[in-house]
């Protein structure tokens, strides 16, 4: 277990002190074994309740699963070691009151099964394939169908600002039609919503 402490000095501006306390983990961490292309691997599954920032009296259950890291790692001189760790996270959709959480074991079992299924699907692909799929979806989301020329006028809104705004909005918004676990009905509903024309752009003045 690693317990970091950070001390910032009021008298001195630049230096700060980091104290790391390393000790054996006292509490057992639940583990699960999965059979996939890399053999019989150990994974850590951790669960807990996370209160909502908007309402601390409400909470969601979160389950995290990741591959157990090696106990020790040896790195030879002038060499390096790279660890790529896939982490699966699942959380309850609807919050519940912390005073009356209901059947937590049932919630936990359902979410644990979700992360196990997600992890099995992820490790069945190569890391290159996962990254390529991620890039392909972003490329599809990024396609707008129109472009504007660069304006030198003062205060003009140009492509870099529009693209930055689009990226901020898209990165904070889910894309249900691209979810691997989405049903055909859910994908069709998402497509219909995207195809609906609200008449936002009626000509050059609105652009």
| Domain layout of the chain by residue ranges | 29-70+84-124, 126-143+158-198
Pairing state between β 2-8 and 58-67: unpaired
Token pair belonging to 11 = 């008298």
Token pair belonging to 136 = 């392909």
Using CA atoms, how far apart are residues 44 and 64, in angstroms rounded to an integer?
A: 8
For 162, the 3-state DSSP assignment is helix
CA angle 120, 91, 40 (to 5 degrees): 25
Token pair belonging to 17 = 């002190």
pLDDT at residue number 44 = 87
pLDDT at residue number 58 = 92
CA 70 to chain centre: 23
- What does the DSSP 8-state code read for residue 93? S
pLDDT at residue number 207 = 46
CA angle 152, 158, 164 (to 5 degrees): 150
Q: Summarize the chain as % helix, strand, coil (round to 5).
A: 30, 25, 45
Q: Decide: 74 and 66 in contact? Cβ < 8 Å.
A: no
Token pair belonging to 50 = 């996370």
* Tens-digit pLDDT string for the chain (207 aa): 556 676 665 555 556 666 766 666 555 556 666 766 566 778 888 888 999 999 989 999 999 988 888 777 788 888 888 878 888 898 888 899 988 888 888 888 999 998 888 888 888 888 888 888 888 888 877 776 666 778 888 888 887 787 788 788 878 877 777 777 777 888 888 777 766 666 665 555 554
Q: Decide: 48 and 61 in contact? Cβ < 8 Å.
A: yes
Using CA atoms, how far apart are residues 123 and 193, in angstroms rounded to an integer?
A: 33
């Amino acid at each position: 277990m690693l317990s970091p402490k950070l001390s910032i000095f009021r008298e001195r501006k630049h230096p700060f002190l980091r104290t790391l306390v390393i000790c054996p983990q006292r509490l057992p961490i639940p583990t699960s074994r999965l059979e996939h292309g890399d053999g019989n691997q150990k994974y850590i599954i951790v669960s807990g309740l996370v209160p909502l920032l908007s309402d601390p009296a409400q909470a969601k259950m979160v389950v995290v699963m990741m591959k157990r890291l090696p106990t020790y790692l040896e790195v030879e001189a002038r060499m390096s070691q790279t660890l790529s760790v896939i982490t699966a996270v699942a959380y309850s959709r609807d919050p519940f009151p912390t005073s009356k959480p209901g059947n937590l074991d049932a919630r936990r079992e359902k979410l644990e099964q979700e992360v196990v299924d997600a992890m099995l699907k992820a490790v069945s692909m190569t890391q290159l394939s996962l990254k390529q799929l991620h890039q392909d979806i972003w490329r599809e989301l990024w396609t707008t169908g129109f472009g504007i020329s660069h304006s030198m006028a003062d205060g003009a809104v140009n492509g870099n600002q529009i693209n930055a705004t689009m990226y901020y909005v898209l990165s904070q918004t889910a894309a249900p039609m691209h979810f691997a676990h989405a049903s055909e009905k859910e994908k069709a509903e998402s497509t219909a919503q995207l195809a609906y024309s609200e008449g936002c752009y009626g000509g050059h003045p609105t652009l």
